[in-house]
Amino acid sequence: MLDMKFVRENPDAVKENIKKKFQDAKLPLVDQVIALDSEYRAATAEAQELRTNRNALSKQVGMLMGQAKKDPSKAAEAEAAKATVKAQADRLAELEQREAELTAKIREIMMSIPQIIDPSVPIGPDDSCNVEVQRFGEPKTPDFAIPYHTEIMESFEGIDMDAAGRVAGNGFYYLLGDIARLHEGVLAYARDFMIAKGFTYCIPPFMIHGNVVEGVMSFPEMDAMMYKIEGEDLYLIGTSEHSMIGRFIDQILPVEKLPQTLTSYSPCFRKEKGAHGIEERGVYRIHQFEKQEMIVVCKPDESMDWYEKLWRFSVELFRSLDIPVRQLECCSGDLADLKVKSCDIEAWSPRQQKYFEVCSCSNLGDAQARRLKIRYKDESGKPQLAHTLNNTCVAPPRMLIAFLENNLQADGSVLIPQVLQPYMGGLEKMVPKK
C-alpha cells in the first residue's frame, strides 16, 4: 500500500505505474482517492478547529449562565451561546462520522492501487514476457524415456492418489515409503541449509486472522488462494510467509535487531482455482503441501541486497541436489500488487525438456509493513517502515518432480546426492519395487 502523501504529490507517477502493470481500469482510482483525501483533510481541519473552540465556548456559556442568574437580561445571550455550543457539537459529531467513512473508503482504494515497481522490472502484460536472466548447471537430455512423475513415484510404491481422492477429493495425495522419506529429507536438508546461512528456524501458526491476511496480500490473491474457517476470523495459510510477516504486526523493532532473518516450515493450503494443463496433474498443483520458506525484515537500504542473496540461496540449494535451474525475472504484469520486484527460480525437467517454477523470490518494499505497521527506530529514534522479503526455500511436492526426473537412472533407480544421504539413513540409491 502506498503512502497517501506520495499519491497526492505524485499522481502522474502512480498512474504511470498502473499503466506499466497493465491495470488501466484502476487509473480513475488515483483521482478518486485524491479527492476523498482532500475532503478528509478539510473535515479533519474543521473538526480540529471546533475542538479547539469547544473549551473556550463552554467557559463562555458558564460565565453567561452565571451572569443571567443575577441579570435576567443576560439570559437570551446565554441561551444563544448554549445553542452555538450544541450546534458545534452536532457538527463535530457529523464530521467525526464523515472522517471515519472517508478513512474506510480511502483505505479500500489504497489497498487496490499497486506498489511502485522497481525501475529494473521488465515491462510486459503477463508471464509470457518474463525474462530469463541466467542459467545454472547443464540441462540433462537422457537417452531413455522419463515417465510422468507420479509413475516414477508409483514404481517405488510411494504415492496413492486414488485413496486420497476418496478421502479428500482431487488435489490431495498419500506419500509412502522412500518417497515420503525423501519428501521429509528434502525439508530437513533445506532447514539445516538455511540455518547454516545464519537464519533462525521457526514453526509458525498455520492459521491467521483476517487483518493479517489483508496485510500480507492483495484482495485478488486472497480470493484465489485462501481457505476460511467457517464461523471464525481465521484463515488457513497459503504459505508461512503470511504468519511469519504477521508476527511483527504493530511492532517497532530496535534497529540493532535488524535484519530479522528467518526460515520457517509449514503446511500450505491453497484453493488453486482455475483450469490447469496436463503437466500440472499429479502433485504439481495441489491443495495441500509443505514448504520451507525464507523471510527477511530489514531496513529499506538493505532490501535489494537481501533480494539478491535470497534467490541465490535457492540456486545454491538446488544445485547441491544436482538439479539445473535458471533465474527468470518477472515482468510488471506478472507482479502481484504488493511486490516491488520478483523473480522465479525454475528447475529443469528432462522429461518435458523445459524449465518449470520451483521457487519465487519477492521484495515487497514497505507494502506489507505499511499495512501491518511494522516499523523500526532509526539512528535518531524516529519510527520508519521496514522492508519485507520472502523466498521459497523448497516446496517438496513440486521440487520432488525436479529431483526425481534429474536423478532418475535408466534402470528406474534414483540416485541420492551426497548432501541428502544423511537425511535418508545413508541411502545412496532408491531402487524401484516394481
Q: What is the mean pLDDT of residues 89-116?
A: 92
356 lies in a domain? Answer: yes
Q: Look at residue 78 and tell me whether its pLDDT is greater than 70.
A: no
Average the pLDDT over 405-424 and give the result.
Answer: 96
Mean per-residue pLDDT, 306-314: 98
Residue 351 falls inside a structural domain? yes
Quick one: average pLDDT of 306-311? 98
Question: Which pLDDT score is estimated for 233?
Answer: 94
Same domain, yes or no: 22 and 148: no
Shared domain for 208 and 84, answered yes or no, is no
Question: Across residues 274-283, what is the average pLDDT?
Answer: 56
- pLDDT at residue 12 greater than cutoff 80: yes
CB 182 within 8 A of CB 429: no
Does residue 170 fall inside a structural domain? yes
Which of 56, 81, 110 represents a domain boundary (last residue)?
110
The pLDDT score that the predictor gives to residue 407 is 96
- The residues pairing with 384 across neighbouring beta strands, listed in sequence order, are 376
For position 411, what pLDDT does the model report? 95
Do 305 and 354 belong together in one domain? yes
CATH number at residue 77: 1.10.287.40
Task: Specify whether 61 is located in the same domain as 163.
Answer: no
Phi and psi at 142, nearest 5°, equal -70, 160
Same-domain pairing of 21 and 131: no
Provide the 3-class DSSP secondary structure of residue 118. coil
Residue 115 counted as domain residue = no
Mean pLDDT for the stretch of residues 82-92: 76
Do 156 and 101 lie in a common domain? no
**Is 160 in the same domain as 82?**
no
Residue 259: is the preceding peptide bond cis (ω within 30°)?
A: yes
The answer to whether position 78 is within a domain reads yes
- Residue 75 confidence (pLDDT) above 80: no
Predicted local confidence at residue 215, as pLDDT: 93
Same domain, 86 and 148: no
pLDDT of residue 276: 45
Residue finishing a domain among 79, 110, 141: 110
- pLDDT greater than 50 at residue 275: no
Nearest to 250 by CA among 285, 299, 201, 215: 215
Q: Are residues 251 and 139 in the same domain?
A: yes
Domain assignment of residue 389, yes or no: yes
Same domain, 146 and 268: yes
Instruction: Give the total number of structural domains in the chain.
Output: 2
Average pLDDT score over residue span 141-167:
94
Q: Which helix (DSSP H) or strand (DSSP E) does residue 384 occupy? A: strand 383-385
CA 390, CA 370: separation in Å to the nearest integer? 16
Burial of 145 (0-12, 13-18, 19+ CB in 10 A): exposed
Q: Which residues contact 84 (CB under 8 A, 6 or more apart)?
A: 57
Closest CA to 320 of 137, 132, 135: 137
Q: Look at residue 121 and tell me if it is in a domain.
A: no
Domain with residue 214: its CATH number is: 3.30.930.10
CB 255 within 8 A of CB 232: no
> Domain for residue 120, yes or no?
no
Mean pLDDT value of segment 123-147: 94
Residue 170 and residue 104 in one domain: no
Which of 60, 82, 110 is the endpoint of a domain?
110
Q: What is the mean pLDDT of residues 173-179?
A: 95
Q: Looking at the predicted structure, is the pLDDT value of residue 310 above 90?
A: yes
- Domain that includes residue 105, residue range: 4-110
Give residue 140's pLDDT: 87
On whether both 90 and 189 belong to a single domain, the answer is: no
